[in-house]
Amino acid sequence: MPKVKLDRIDRKILNDLQEHGRMTNVELAERAGISAPPCLRRVRALEEAGVIRGYHAEIDAQSLGYGITVFAQVGLDNQAEADLKRFEDQVREWPLVRECYLVSGEADYILKIVAEDWDSYQKFLTTHLTTAPNVSHIKSALGVRVAKHKPGVPVDTE
């Protein structure tokens, strides 16, 4: 996606929505220094341009019983584009995998996986990940503590 040209007001709207997604259009317009109708038009234009890709609630994993987060570095036997796509398609089917990145370096992918506990992660590992076609090796790292969690991207509002 090409970089979209944004003015100061667009960046302010993006920053505020990213930080406070449930704010009303009236509140958003006030913070951006414009009236509500043009603010709503700008938000819709940002959605149509693909700058705003969606809205979601951030849910506390532990409140739903997911006590651990594991980062798995996955290596594949073959990195042909068709094989990468097959692996990515399979990963999309696994609900415990919350994020998946194709990376350069020692591993081909890094997966962020949530599980109830270490035993349930081990079950996922042995029944899904290690048995997936083309997977050659996996290194797991247990997340011990979240030192920073800031979804989204930095938005320069100046």
In this prediction, residue 158 has a pLDDT band, given cuts at 50, 70 and 90, of confident
**pLDDT, position 1:** 63
Name the token pair of 91.
């990963």
CB-CB contact of 70 with 31 (8 Å): no
**CATH tag for 8-48 (out of 2.40.50.140, 3.40.50.2000, 1.10.10.10, 3.40.190.10):** 1.10.10.10
- Delimit the CATH 1.10.10.10 region(s) of the chain: 8-48
3-state class of 69 per DSSP? Answer: strand
pLDDT, mean of residues 31-50: 96
- Give the Cα separation of 121 and 47 in Å (integer): 36
Give the largest Cα separation in the chain, rounded: 56
pLDDT, mean of residues 55-71: 94
**pLDDT, position 5:** 87
Name the token pair of 69.
């987060």
**pLDDT, position 36:** 96
- Delimit the CATH 3.30.70.920 region(s) of the chain: 62-142
**pLDDT, position 66:** 96
* Domain 62-142 annotated CATH 3.30.70.920: yes
